[in-house]
Amino acid sequence: MSKGFTLIELLIVIAVLGVLATIVLVAIDPLEQLSRGTDAGQKTKIASMGHALQSYYTTQNAVYPTENATWQTTLVSAGELKQAVSGDVAIACSGGTEQNDICYDYDGTDSAVWLTLKSKAEKGKCPAPATDTAYFVWTSVDSRAGTLCFASGQPVAGTSYAASFK
């Protein structure tokens, strides 16, 4: 009798390993992990942008940058940002002005800056994750940032969202 594995035994072991590998990949969900990492970066960008806007407000005698296509350039020129910041997800601003996939709204008194979040974890915070859009928003009214969900529309400067932050 020869020692070793038969071809059938080897095929069964390979099939079992394949099933286990598939289960592990489904459990890990690498695309979701990538989306979560992107969202973490997006949140950091908006928090930094909020700090830059507050600094600008302080140094410019209680005025935020004008809402136009170069609002980030204004922050760079004033020394509040080293360079313009880009969002990682394309966005169309319905209530503000977009520069580098980041939206900005200024109502003459208060400002808001936001971008889109894409991970299932962030969209899962929304009441209707399939249809709502999750934004990470900083507002001067609240002086902080948080995740907001909108079925339609986008954040607006001068509105307090603190109670709605997820």
Tell whether 36 is covered by a domain.
yes
pLDDT of residue 26: 79
Tens place of pLDDT for every residue, the chain, 166 residues?
678 888 898 999 999 999 998 888 778 888 999 999 999 999 999 999 999 999 999 999 999 999 999 999 999 999 999 999 999 988 989 889 999 999 999 999 999 999 999 999 999 999 999 999 999 999 999 999 999 999 999 999 999 999 999 9
What are the residues whose beta carbons fall under 8 Å from the beta carbon of 159, sequence distance 6 or more?
112, 139, 141
CB 142 within 8 A of CB 161: yes
Tell whether 159 is covered by a domain.
yes
Tell whether 51 is covered by a domain.
yes
Tell whether 2 is covered by a domain.
no
Per the listing, tokens 């529309």 go with 153
pLDDT of residue 153: 92
CB 115 within 8 A of CB 46: yes
Tell whether 24 is covered by a domain.
yes
pLDDT of residue 3: 80
Residue 124 burial (C-beta neighbours within 10 Å; 0-12, 13-18, 19+): exposed
- Domain count for the chain: 1
Tell whether 1 is covered by a domain.
no
Tell whether 119 is covered by a domain.
yes
What are the residues whose beta carbons fall under 8 Å from the beta carbon of 18, sequence distance 6 or more?
none
Tell whether 68 is covered by a domain.
yes
Range of the domain at 42: 7-164
pLDDT of residue 1: 63
Per the listing, tokens 């690498």 go with 30
pLDDT of residue 23: 87
CB 38 within 8 A of CB 119: yes
